[in-house]
Amino acid sequence: MSAFPQDFLWGAATAAYQVEGGFDADGKGPSIWDEFAHRPGTTYQGTNGDVAVDHYHRFREDVALMGELGMKSYRFSLSWPRLLPEGRGEVNEAGVAFYSDLIDELLKHQIEPMITLYHWDLPLALQQEGGWEVRSTADAFVEYARLCYQRFGDRVKLWSTFNETVVFIGHGYITGAHPPAVQDPARALQACHHVFVAHAASVAAFRTSGIDGQIGFVNVLQPHTPRSDAPEDIAACQFADGIYTHWLYDPVLKGEYPAELLAQAQALWGVPRFAPGDADLLRNNRCDFIGLNFYKRETVAANDQPTSFNANHSGQRGSGHQQGKEFGVQGLFKFVRNPQGVYTDWDWEIYPQGLTDGIMMIKARYGDVPIYITENGLGAKDPIIDGEVRDDDRIDYLRQHIAAIAEAIEQGADVRGYYPWSFIDLLSWLNGFQKQYGFVYVDHQRGLARQRKKSFAWYQQVIASNGEQR
């Protein structure tokens, strides 16, 4: 018998900026990524999302492929500036119509939409007013969320507010690799606080909207393992858990920051500053579910040098182990290469057991919260042999991770869905189109023609057998 419940949501995921294109079509406003990627030197070979894979114009063809694959659910994000070009105020009805048509098309194929409200493409107009560093952006987010509930809530039951705070705040405000390219941990923590406030206030708005659905938050799941049994490596590992997990999960699942770390951050940098009512807002608006994006684990060692920040997207292809920018705090921890580890070409350790362990760690700390695996996948340059995209490595990767989820379910975790990243080959934020993740290949030499990969037929059979044949 399958480990997976009958109503398990076998899906796949994408994000607006990475697939849609149509960056200035039909009244869409610019986002911070439109502006950033147009600056020379910011992305791999200057690639950007102007056209991406043109899903904006080809969504019917793409949804037909999703239907053929047998997907039960599709996780995608909405572009805030496509709906509200200035971030607030006037609504772009053409943008509403696009998402409305996409949702209808999905439902026509019996595919349950799962919406992410924020996958990093902040309206540029709001960045010009201070972005996440100012509280008014959180207010604008709630206005945007309400608009989405009103227009799409009759058909969409699964919502999440934010995707991966650790990445867009960490790279946006510590390493500077993502927009707005700031390098200041204190500013990062205040911006992050406004994200939590925006999340909690939009959960509150969801609860009063009358939508018969669930709302959650999507985080990177990055398990840590100490390099050795030495007490200093174990302590370093616990500290990494505190920063990469507790800081980011506690506010949305427990409704409060981890007390000790909060006290340390406030003593060191004076942030995050709370406005009156913030603590209650967080406490009263916890998530219905948590989305976990799992790609890799990190091995952690003690460090007597300044600690660096490091998350998905830091690594360049074949650069050896990725290095992040410094937090500016002496001697906390560092990530090191695991000599026994198997790594992707982008130096992300492949460690499926980490997914089981990570899910069980979430259950142990936060109780029986429903879980969706909202991203998981292998970024690789796929081989094309005799015209076929033979992505056997991806099949292997996904197979092992599906087994890891089955294991967690058998151990009692409430996992309700699996969304491999990604449905289709799309734009990797900093790596252009060379880092592929999809079941569907896009031929950039032949007018963005779609082609099913070997993994497409494989995943079709996984879904049809509810995970038994893999």
Active-site positions read: 164, 375
From residue 292 to residue 331, the character string flagging contacts with ligand BGP as x (rule: CB under 6 A) and all else as - is -x------------------xx------------------
Q: Which of 54, 62, 121, 164 binds ligand BGP (CB under 6 A)?
A: 164
Stretch touching ligand BGP by CB under 6 A, among 145-153, 169-177, 395-403, 423-431: 423-431
Window contacting ligand BGP (CB under 6 A); options: 269-277, 296-304, 381-389, 427-435? 427-435
Binder among 140, 167, 188, 395 for ligand BGP (CB under 6 A): 167
- Nearest residue to ligand BGP, scored by beta-carbon proximity: 428
Whole-number Cα distances in Å, 3 to 221, 353, 409, 420: 22, 17, 7, 18
| Footprint of ligand BGP on 1-40 (CB under 6 A) | 15, 18
CB of residue 431 vs ligand BGP: minimum separation in angstroms?
Answer: 6
User: Please, which residue, 421 or 459, has the CB nearer to ligand BGP?
Assistant: 421
Closest separation between CB of residue 189 and ligand BGP, Å? Answer: 20
Q: How many residues can be counted in the chain?
A: 470
Closer CB to ligand BGP, residue 56 or residue 348? Answer: 348
User: How many chain residues touch ligand BGP (CB under 6 A)?
Assistant: 15
Q: HSE (CB half, 13 Å, CA atoms) of 431?
A: 20
Taking the C-alpha atoms of residue 420 and residue 373, their distance in angstroms, rounded to an integer, is 8
The CA-atom distances, in angstroms, between 357 and each of 205, 304, 354, 362, 406 are 34, 29, 5, 9, 12
Query: Which of positions 338-377 make contact with ligand BGP (CB under 6 A)?
Result: 375
Stretch that binds ligand BGP, among 4-12, 44-52, 250-258, 428-436 (CB under 6 A): 428-436
Interface residue with ligand BGP among 249, 335, 429, 441 (CB under 6 A) is: 429
Residue 307 CA to its chain's centroid (Å)? 24
Binding string, residues 195-214; x marks residues near ligand BGP by CB under 6 A:
--------------------
Rounded CA-CA distance 62/39 in Å is: 30
Q: Which of residues 270-299 bind ligand BGP (CB under 6 A)?
A: 293
Contacting residue, 42, 48, 163, 175, with ligand BGP by CB under 6 A: 163
Residue among 245, 428, 436, 455 that touches ligand BGP (CB under 6 A): 428
Inter-residue contact 29 to 124 (CB < 8 Å): yes
Half-sphere CA count of 246, side-chain side, radius 13 A: 15
Q: Which residue lies nearer to ligand BGP by CB, 178 or 286?
A: 178
Tell me if 75 contacts ligand BGP by CB under 6 A: no
The rounded distance, in Å, linking the Cα atoms of 168 and 171 is 5
Q: Give the separation between CA 413 and CA 401, rounded to whole angstroms.
A: 15
Closer by beta carbon to ligand BGP, 285 or else 322: 322
Q: Which stretch binds ligand BGP (CB under 6 A): 3-11, 160-168, 270-278, 384-392?
A: 160-168
Binding site for ligand BGP (CB under 6 A): 15, 18, 163-164, 167, 293, 312-313, 375, 379, 421, 428-429, 431, 435
